Structure 1
Amino acid sequence: MYGQTEWAGLIRDVPDFPRPGILFKDITPMLANAAAFAAATGALAEPWRDAGVQAVLGIESRGFILGAALARALKSGFVPVRKPGKLPGSVLTVEYGLEYGKDTLQLRADAVAPGTRVLIVDDVLASGGTLHAALSLARQQGCDVLGAAVLIELQSLGGRGRWQADLPLTATLRFP
């Protein structure tokens, strides 16, 4: 079984992607290794095993991968939070700021029942805009948000400061 040092070592830095000045954390090599992916998913799930999570809201696109695996580990449902134009039917929409621009997220209006105990999941917490937008969507839907989990937190970008202070936010790996 892979320890955190081994699977974390498979995450590579890609400078100047998607724009100059951005250091992208590429989790693809970790995902491609079955043992590493299982260990990372287990580490991501551990703080939430007894929280009573009923649905995991995974943020497009790498949050889908981690969120679906996490939902399985927590024996809960999975709900995708998508970019515009990807979901049929009535949707809830929120626009938010990124460290390098603006974006929009959507959630199907009937994707999860009000009162459902949800965990929001993404791969990286940078400036916090994406996670905050997903929280806004979950609250618009009437969900009982338990907290959020990210695989990687980039501490220097201050994203944790945008998160709701009274809700837990777990990060499996933290980079300065």
Structure 2
Amino acid sequence: MDLKSHIRGIPDFPKPGILFYDISPLLAHPQAWRHAVETMAASVKEWQPDILVGIESRGFLAAAPLAYVLDCGFVMCRKRGKLPGETIGHLYELEYGSDAIEIQADAIKPGQRVVVVDDLLATGGTMAAAIQLLRRVGADVRGAACFIELTFLGGRDKIDAPVTSLMQYDS
């Protein structure tokens, strides 16, 4: 199945000069969505995860059904202040400033096998930060997975774990 035919490019969103890769048509097409989830599950299964960690917010849409299919847990990695209870955070640098992500303090047990999931891998900054945070709390990060990879931005080079992606865009 040609999954790229279910991805919509939206120019100048969220700001001028950016081409946004919208997964909404993929989510709306039941056969394409099922195919995407099942194909990704087959790749991620090899890492034998105990937990999938979805990165806010579209990563939740990818990680939750994958966790269901793989019969493993799901944890949210969110921006600062969005999770209830005690959290553990990680501050990281972006091209123009900094940002912070958090997980709940009791979400990951030391030694658990974890795969980090997002809808799209671009520059790799947030994915790399999530991996650093998870390792800091004792996770055994087995890999990173995404539906779309913008290879021309080199994000994979920032990820010090195996990466799998369903669709790659070279420009």
TM-score normalised according to structure 2 size: 0.94
**2:116 alignment partner AA:** I
Counterparts of 1:7-18 in structure 2, within 5 Å, are: 7-18=3-14
Deviations 1:90-134 (A, max 9, x none): 211122344565432111111121111110000111000010011
**Partner in structure 2 of residue 103 of structure 1:** 99
Say whether residues 1:162 and 2:158 are aligned partners: yes
Aligned pair in 2 of structure 1 residues 97, 20: CA closer, same or farther (>3 Å)?
Answer: farther
Q: Return the alpha-carbon distance in structure 1 between the equivalents of residues 100 and 25 of structure 2.
A: 28
Cross-structure match for 2:167 = 173
Number of residue pairs matched by the alignment: 170
- Identify unmatched segments of 5+ residues in structure 1: none
Aligned to 2:36: 40
C-alpha distance in structure 1 between counterparts of 2:98 and 2:16, whole Å: 16
Aligned alpha-carbon RMSD (Å): 1.4
For structure 2, list consecutive stretches of 5 or more residues without a partner in the other structure.
none
User: What secondary structure does 2:79 align onto?
Assistant: coil
**Alignment correspondent of 2:85:** 89
Return closer, same or farther for 1:39/1:66 CA change in 2, 3 Å cut-off.
same
In structure 2, the CA distance between the partners of 1:98 and 1:43, relative to structure 1 (3 Å rule), is: farther
- 2: distance between equivalents of 1:143 and 1:12? 35
Q: Distance in 2 between matches of 1:157 and 1:48?
A: 23
Contact in 1 for aligned 2:47/2:143 (Cα 8 Å): no
| Structure-1 separation of matches of 2:7 and 2:153 | 19
Identity of aligned residues (%): 47
